[in-house]
Structure formats: C-alpha cells, structure tokens
Amino acid sequence: MLTGKYVFAQLIVFLPQKTFQRIVMKYKGDKYIKSFSCWNQLLIMMYGQLSGCESLRELVCITTAHSQKSYHLGFGKSLITRSNLAKANANNRDCNIFEEFAYKMISIAQRKRITREFEICGRFYAFDSTTIDLCLNLFWWAGFRKTKGGIKDC
C-alpha cells in the first residue's frame, strides 16, 4: 500500500500555483469554464510530456487507466476526456498564459542556480551500468542477446 505521494505529485509541488492563477486571471483563461481549468490542462499536458505520449488519445487512455489515482496525481476529480482536452488545446484559451508562466519558471530557475562549482566532501562512489558491446565470435562467454555479446561495467 502506498503511503507517500506519487512522483508526479511531488514534482508539481514546485510549481507556483498562485502565480499561475494570477496569470490566468489576467488573461481570463478560466472564464466560462466549469470543470477543466487551465491548471488541469497544464498538469495533464505535463503528464503527457513526461510519460512520452504521442497523441491525445494515448494521453486520455493513460489518464483513464489511472483514474482511481487522478486526484492524488493532482488532476482533480473531473473526468478527462479527449473532447475536453481537444477543446482546451484549441484556440479557446490564450496561449500567453502558458508562455508567461514558462518565462516565470525560467526566471525562478535562474535565480536559484548555484554560482559556485559543485563540490563533494568526503567519500563518494559512482556506479555506471552501461553495457559494453562485445563480439560473440571472440567473447563466446559474454552472451547478451541471441546475436550480440556484452558485459555490464560496474
């Protein structure tokens, strides 16, 4: 049983929601909207980008499969349908909302960047799990796949 937050929910904690809502109010993005807000659209599109979705249909299928978890992922209680998502992505909402929010996030990241080089004190270990390709004719003992040889470098 899960006792903590989902990874996506942990990521969206870093997004300044009040700043986003101010931008939405500035451009009147949620005017006449009852259930699928600009915030929901942003989160759904971020989830699709992070999960590698190539179409709205695939994104809706994934979010429908996780419908029991949608509230805990941050999507809210509203049902996510392809028609709602398509209407939201059409010209109904001002794209300046998301552009201005992106610039705001970039400025926040620039202010928080580290001005000194990365320093590590004490002992540290680095693990690399890269597979090194080998020829099966020479290294018969390094069977990696049917026609390929390889070893893991640790």
CA dist 36 and 88 (Å) reads 8
CA dist 108 and 135 (Å) reads 49
Chain segment 127-140, per-residue pLDDT in tens: 666 677 777 777 77
Residues 65 and 139 in one domain: no
The reply to whether 1 falls in a domain is no
The reply to whether 2 falls in a domain is no
Q: What pTM value is reported for the model? A: 0.66
Residues 88 and 126 in one domain: no
Write the single-letter amino acid at 111.
R
- pLDDT at residue 132, rounded to an integer: 72
What is the count of structural domains for the chain? 2
Residue whose structure tokens are 């590590």:
120
Residues 106 and 126 in one domain: no
Write the single-letter amino acid at 37.
S
Residue whose structure tokens are 């509230």:
71
Question: What distance lies between CA 40 and its chain's CA centroid?
Answer: 14
Give Dmax (Cα) for the chain: 70
Chain segment 39-90, per-residue pLDDT in tens: 888 888 888 888 888 888 888 888 877 777 777 677 766 777 777 778 777 7
CA dist 27 and 90 (Å) reads 16
Q: Which domain holds residue 147?
A: 122-154
CA dist 35 and 1 (Å) reads 30
**Are the C-beta atoms of 82 and 57 separated by less than 8 Å?**
yes
